[in-house]
Every structure is written in structure tokens, then in C-alpha cells.
Amino acid sequence: MSGVIKQTWSPATDEYQSTLIELKDMVSACMQCGTCTASCPNGFAMDVTPRRMWRMIQFGMLDQILESRAFWYCSSCYMCTLRCPRGLKLTSAMGALKRLSRLDGSWAAKKNGAFYEAFMDNVEVYGRAQELSLMNRYFLKRKNPALPLSFIPLGMKLMGKGKLHIPNRTQRGRLKAMFAKAREMEISS
């Protein structure tokens, strides 16, 4: 199906190909018992259940999975990984799907992955996550003016408790070289 076409013909990067191969390896032994779906605390919100997702990957239906929003609802709680009778690293597979969607440049990745992107940008700049500037960066990425408004009450509460801080600059730029190196390696892997 389209997933197969993508593997063969699309100008996907090497990183995309290697992540895809890794993902297929991760779930190839899935026997469809459904323990992952039953264990997932966020499964109720997913349009494709985890069990179905693994089967779709086995069938090469990657495009349909990437069109779904299901894997963005993984909160990395590792309950599926813990309980999988085959010992599959299913939480890592969810992470790989998030990376593929990002490499795809999809709209869903821009929206649902905005927090992760903002977090990593923030760490690249400051060396440590700085909550206040991280949230500002996240709001900018989401481009939704109503979103920051919904966080104002929490912000006020945190400010009242003295929990908001201007960015700590002691580690600023400390990780720049590592980020650059990783990017270079991932593009040419």
C-alpha cells in the first residue's frame, strides 16, 4: 500500500528510512493480544488503538497511522511496555512514530509535537529547560492566540507562589555543539 510506495519512491531522508526500519523491527513480533490497548490510560482518546497500530505497521499501512492522531496521545507511561507479553518496546515505538510524523513535516506534527519542539529548542539555547521561556516558545509555535489565555490562571497562581523565574543563563549555549553534531549525524545516517 501507500506505506510501501513511500519506502521505495519517496525522497525520504536516510533518517526517515532508518527510523521506519527500526519501527518495523520493534513491532514485528506483535501477536495482537491487545494487552497494550487495555493497559493504555489514554487509549480512550485514540482514534486508532495501539494494538491496531502495530498491525497496521506490520501491513505497511504507515500513511494511515501517520494521518491518525493516536500516537500523540502517548504520555510515555510505559504501561504497555511493562505488560507486553512479547517484551516489545512499545513506548519507544510511539516515540519513533512521533519522530516519523515530524520528519514527514505533517500538520499534526507541527501542532501535536509543538511542545516537544519548544522544549528541545529551549534546552538547546539555555542548556537547561526554563519553564517560562519554554511556554512562551510553545505558544509562538502553536500560533493560537486563545491558547496562552487559557494558561493565564495557572501562570498567575505560579507567579503568586514564586514559581516563575527569568531564565537561568549559567549553562547558556553549553549544548550547542552537541545539538549540531547530532543533527549532522542524523541527516547523514
Partner 1 sequence: MRYAYYPGCSLLESAQEFDVSVRAVMECLGVTLEEIPNWTCCGASAAEPVSKLMNYALPARNLAIVEKEMGGIDVLAPCSACYLNLLKVNKEVIGSRELHGKVNEVLSASGQRYAGNVKVLHLLDVLLNDVGVKLVEEKVTDGLKGMKVAPYYGCQILRPYAVFDDPGKPTSMEPVLKALGANVYEWDYGNRCCGASLMVGHRDVAIRSVAEILNGASDADVIVTVCPLCQMNLEAYQAQAVKAGGVRVPVLYLSQLMGLAFGFGEDVMQLKKNLTMTAGVRDMINNKVWSQLRQTESGEELTGVEP
Q: Who's near 22: CB < 8 A, 6+ residues apart? A: 96
- In whole angstroms, give the CA distance from residue 165 to residue 11: 44
Chain mean position to CA 4? 23
**Phi, psi (5° rounding) for residue 22?**
-60, -40
Residue 149 found at the interface with partner 1 (CB under 8 A): no
Least distance to partner 1, CB of residue 6, Å = 20
Question: What residues from 110 to 139 belong to the interface with partner 1 (CB under 8 A)?
Answer: 112-117, 119-120, 123, 127-131, 138
| 61 DSSP 8-state letter | -
- The site that binds partner 1 (CB under 8 A) totals a number of residues, namely 61
Which helix (DSSP H) or strand (DSSP E) does residue 158 occupy?
helix 152-160
Grid coordinates belonging to 59 = 501491513
Least distance to partner 1, CB of residue 160, Å = 9
Among 98, 106, 107, 140, binds partner 1 (CB under 8 A): 98
Q: Is the CB of residue 7 less than 8 Å from the CB of residue 47?
A: no
Among 11, 44, 85, 107, binds partner 1 (CB under 8 A): 44
What share of residues in the chain are helix, strand, coil (percent, to 5)? 65, 0, 35
Residue 67 found at the interface with partner 1 (CB under 8 A): no
Residue 49 found at the interface with partner 1 (CB under 8 A): no
Residue 51 found at the interface with partner 1 (CB under 8 A): no
Grid coordinates belonging to 8 = 521505495
Q: Identify which of residues 1 and 180 has a Cβ nearer to partner 1 in the complex.
A: 180
| 167 DSSP 8-state letter | P
Contacts with partner 1, residue ranges (CB under 8 A): 19, 41-42, 44-45, 72-73, 75-79, 81-82, 89, 91-92, 95-96, 98-99, 102, 112-117, 119-120, 123, 127-131, 138, 150, 153-154, 157-158, 161-165, 168, 170-171, 174-175, 177-183, 185-186
